[in-house]
């Protein structure tokens, strides 16, 4: 009887293992479809359609990660998805919700980085220990580093009144500095846009550097042949506002709004988001200057 029970248990474990393996295989076989979906989303020109589609796509990724939790590619897609949804459609209406979404994106990014040797424990450790861990990462970790840093930075931005959250900004910067070293052109020169905003958003006495900020924005524009409107949007929002240059602020935002809708068809969504945000900033600017 004991042998029969053991055989039944062994058989059950084999079936369970096979089912888990099959689910994992199905998830990984679906990755090309996910990549195709991301390409299609990037080309979307209708903001309302994109806004409605984002949650379903994110939930699909969450479901796939239930069956393949160690898949770093899915984690990177999820981190990117949470960032895109929060930045494009949530933060201007509900900063509390956006904060939660950015943090979820950050957690997925950290899970992806675990596969490359950097964990949440490193992020919570001293800056010196974190720097040592970050320095060990190579090009394979670029995407995970970028989206982890992007989500964490925006989470800090949504919680500026918290000393604890502000303590994570230098950690996020450290991750993005590594991306700048590994691949400065990743995601449409994203690291340069990041540091353009970072150095432009604060006064020089607080670590800002207006000249360096402008250099980063100019690099991003040149690298993308002036097809990405986010450089002008962010320069107006952070650098021109900090310099209190109302003329430059209005000029850049007007340029964004009047740009052709087909300026960059493969990245139509991000340009559409930039146009929408530029309109909001122009209105807010009336109270700033």
What local confidence, expressed as pLDDT, does residue 3 receive?
55
Q: At what angle do helices 142-158 and 169-182 cross, to 10 degrees?
A: 150
Summary mean pLDDT of the chain: 91
pLDDT digits (tens, 9 = 90+) for 108-143: 999 999 999 999 999 999 999 999 999 999 999 999
* Res. 94: pLDDT tops 50: yes
Reported as type and span, the H/E element at residue 241 is helix 241-242
* Res. 24: pLDDT tops 80: no
Alpha-carbon distances, residue 115 vs 47, 118, 141, 209, 246 (angstroms): 34, 7, 9, 35, 46
What local confidence, expressed as pLDDT, does residue 5 receive?
46
* Res. 277: pLDDT tops 60: yes
- Report residue 166 as tokens: 């502000």
DSSP letter string, 59-88: HHHHHHHHH-TT-HHHHHHHHHHHHHHIII
pLDDT digits (tens, 9 = 90+) for 132-186: 999 999 999 999 999 999 999 999 999 999 999 999 999 999 999 999 999 999 9
Distance CA 99, CA 263 (A): 31
- Report residue 230 as tokens: 């986010």
Mean pLDDT for 24-29 is 66
CB 155 within 8 A of CB 99: yes
Q: How confident is the model at residue 2 (pLDDT cuts 50, 70, 90)?
A: low
Torsion of the alpha carbons at 66, 80, 270 and 286, rounded to the nearest 10:
120
What local confidence, expressed as pLDDT, does residue 16 receive?
41
pLDDT digits (tens, 9 = 90+) for 70-92: 899 999 999 999 999 999 999 99
Which positions ≥6 away from 82 have C-beta within 8 Å?
Answer: 58, 101, 102, 104, 105, 108, 151
What local confidence, expressed as pLDDT, does residue 19 receive?
46
Distance CA 33, CA 37 (A): 6
pLDDT digits (tens, 9 = 90+) for 260-272: 999 999 999 999 9
Distance CA 271, CA 50 (A): 13
What pTM does this model have? 0.90
CB 223 within 8 A of CB 189: yes
Distance CA 47, CA 44 (A): 8
CB 195 within 8 A of CB 237: no
Of 36-40, 183-187, 191-195, 219-223, where does mean pLDDT reach its minimum?
36-40
Mean pLDDT for 92-100 is 97
């Amino acid at each position: 009887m004991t042998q029969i029970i053991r055989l039944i248990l062994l058989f059950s474990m084999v079936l369970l293992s096979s089912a888990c393996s099959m689910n994992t295989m199905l998830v990984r076989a679906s990755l090309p479809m996910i990549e195709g979906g991301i390409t299609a989303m990037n080309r979307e020109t209708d903001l309302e359609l994109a806004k409605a589609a984002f949650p379903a796509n994110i939930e699909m990724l969450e479901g796939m990660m239930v069956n393949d939790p160690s898949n770093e590619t899915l984690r990177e897609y999820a981190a990117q998805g949470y960032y895109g949804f929060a930045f494009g459609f949530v933060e201007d209406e509900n900063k509390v919700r956006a904060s939660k979404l950015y943090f979820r994106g950050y957690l997925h990014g950290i899970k992806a980085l675990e596969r490359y040797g950097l964990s949440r424990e490193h992020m919570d450790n001293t800056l010196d220990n974190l720097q040592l861990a970050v320095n060990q990462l190579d090009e394979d970790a670029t995407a995970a580093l970028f989206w982890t840093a992007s989500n964490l930075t925006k989470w800090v931005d949504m919680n500026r009144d918290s000393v604890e959250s502000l303590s994570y900004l230098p950690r996020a910067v450290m991750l993005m500095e590594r991306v700048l070293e590994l691949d400065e052109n990743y995601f449409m020169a994203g690291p340069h846009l990041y540091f353009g905003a970072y150095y432009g958003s604060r006064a020089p006495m607080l670590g800002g550097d207006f000249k360096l900020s402008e250099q980063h924005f100019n690099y991003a524009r040149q690298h993308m042949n002036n097809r990405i409107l986010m450089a002008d949007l962010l320069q107006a929002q952070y650098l021109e506002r900090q310099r209190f240059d109302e003329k430059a602020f209005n000029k850049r935002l007007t340029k964004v709004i009047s740009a052709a809708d087909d300026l960059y068809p493969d990245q139509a969504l991000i340009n559409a988001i930039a146009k929408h945000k530029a309109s909001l900033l122009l209105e807010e600017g009336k109270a700033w200057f």
